[in-house]
Amino acid sequence: MDFPPRCASLAHAGSNTPKGRAVPAAMIEIIADDRERNGGVIDRLRGHEKVSLVIERLPLGDYLIDEVLLIKRKTLPDLAASIKDGRLFGQAHRLTGWPLWKAFIPEGTAADLAGSGMRREAIQGALIGLTLYLGIPLLRSQGPAETAQLILFAARQGRSAASGTVLRPGRRPRGKARIQTRVLQGLPGVGPQRARRLLETFGSVRGVVQADTEALAAVHGIGPATAETIRWAVKVSSPAIL
């Protein structure tokens, strides 16, 4: 999965965090795709005191939260159009290639579909395919303000899930590094020690996902076989942008 290095001119455009300043652990880190600038969601996230927002081009999805949760947002008119022209399921299949958490947010009301020519049953069928058969969770939103709230709610729940508070009360790792280590343990062949070494080597979950087989194999305790398995798990079947 090729997430390009951050472009300095984009990485801090509209960001709540000054260039070069470390992000406090309590802040929710959100990377928003630059094509979302006019969607209304970015404006609402930018004004939140607990959000560190970066705007840049994402090759997959629209919002990357804390480097572990990937969200794709579609307005209902765009959803209808993508069902008609066949884009939706190609996009959805690429989204399933994201190895960690992901979600799909259809945004709008029934009035937004007026004139689309799309039957309700067709939309329901598409959403059933996304959720039941592709396993992509669906978070329904009526507009940009609610979408922003859903992103924040999902981020908070994600931190709880990654830290083990949902499944294992009393075993909550403190600090971002421990949360990232727990998340990396979801990759095949990666236990606590390997997760820590991967994080020490690549600096973030995103860095591990981007790393090639040779770089992964060079990490102490990983080796070629585990490196190949990790690359297989995180590889997206198509490089096309979602």
**Residue 206, helix vs strand vs coil:** helix
pLDDT of residue 192: 84
DSSP state of 31: E
Alpha-carbon distance of 231 to 108, in angstroms, equals 37
pLDDT of residue 191: 84
- Tokens matching residue 104: 């799909």
**Residue 3, helix vs strand vs coil:** coil
By CB atoms closer than 10 A (0-12, 13-18, 19+), residue 54 is buried
Phi then psi for residue 30, to 5 deg, are -125, 125
Alpha-carbon distance of 6 to 213, in angstroms, equals 22
pLDDT of residue 40: 94
pLDDT of residue 10: 32
Contact 112, 141 (CB under 8 A): no
pTM of the model: 0.63
Average pLDDT per run of 10 along the chain, which is 242 residues long? 39 43 74 94 91 92 91 93 89 84 91 84 88 91 95 86 52 63 80 87 85 90 88 60 34
pLDDT of residue 241: 33
Q: Set out the domains of the chain in order of their start, with CATH numbers.
A: 8-159 (3.40.50.10130), 174-234 (1.10.150.20)
Secondary structure of 52-90 as H, E, C letters: EEEEECCCCCCEEECCCEEEEEEEHHHHHHHHHCCHHHH
Signed CA dihedral, 126, 89, 205, 230: sign only:
positive
